[in-house]
Structure 1
Amino acid sequence: MSTPRILARFTRAAVWLALGAVLLPLGGCAVAALPCRLTSATLKIIPVVGHAAASPFDMCSSAID
C-alpha cells in the first residue's frame, strides 16, 4: 500500500471522527434541526434578501425544537 493511500484513509477517518465529536453533544432535536439552521445561516449571508429568504428555515428549526 502506498503512502498517499494510507494518508488519504487516515484523513478520511479523522474527518469522520471529528464530525462525530461535533454531533455527539447535540440532542435528537438539535440534529434534526441542523439542516434548517445551516441553510438559514447560509442564506443570511446574501445581502438584501438573505434574511427574508432565511425566515422559513428559521421557522422550520423553531418548530423542530
Structure 2
Amino acid sequence: MSLARTPEPWLRAARWLVCGAALLPLGGCGVAALPCRVTSATLKVLPVVGHAAATPFDMCASAID
C-alpha cells in the first residue's frame, strides 16, 4: 500500500494562494507600509533605546498611510 503524495506544483500553488490570502486584508497603502511597521515593531523590543529607534519607522508608516 503506497501513500498518496501531493505533486510539487500543487504545493507551490497552495503556498502562493495562502500568501495572497494573508495579504488580501491589507490595502494598497497597507502593503507599502508593512516593511516600516515590521521594522518598527522589531526595534521596539529592544530595551531602553527601542522606542526612540523605532520613531522614524513609525513616521514612515504614518506618511505612507
| TM-score after normalising by structure 1 | 0.77
Q: Of the two, which has the highest radius of gyration?
A: 2
Distance 2:53 2:39 in 1: 10
SS in 1 for 2:63: helix
Aligned pairs (5 A) from 1:9-28: 10=11, 12-28=12-28
Q: 1:16–1:57: structure 2 CA closer, same or farther, 3 Å change rule?
A: same
Cα offset, 1:22, TM superposition = 1.0
Structure 1 equivalent of residue 63 of structure 2: 63
Q: Share of identical aligned residues, percent? A: 75
Q: Which amino acid aligns with 2:60?
A: C
Aligned pairs (5 A) from 1:1-65: 6=7, 10=11, 12-65=12-65
The number of residue pairs the alignment matches comes to 61
Cα offset, 1:59, TM superposition = 0.1
Decide which structure has greater helix share: 1
Runs of 4 or more, structure 1, over 4 Å off, are none
Cα offset, 1:38, TM superposition = 0.4
Task: Please list every run of 5 or more consecutive structure 2 residues that lacks an aligned counterpart in the other structure.
Answer: none
| TM-score after normalising by structure 2 | 0.77
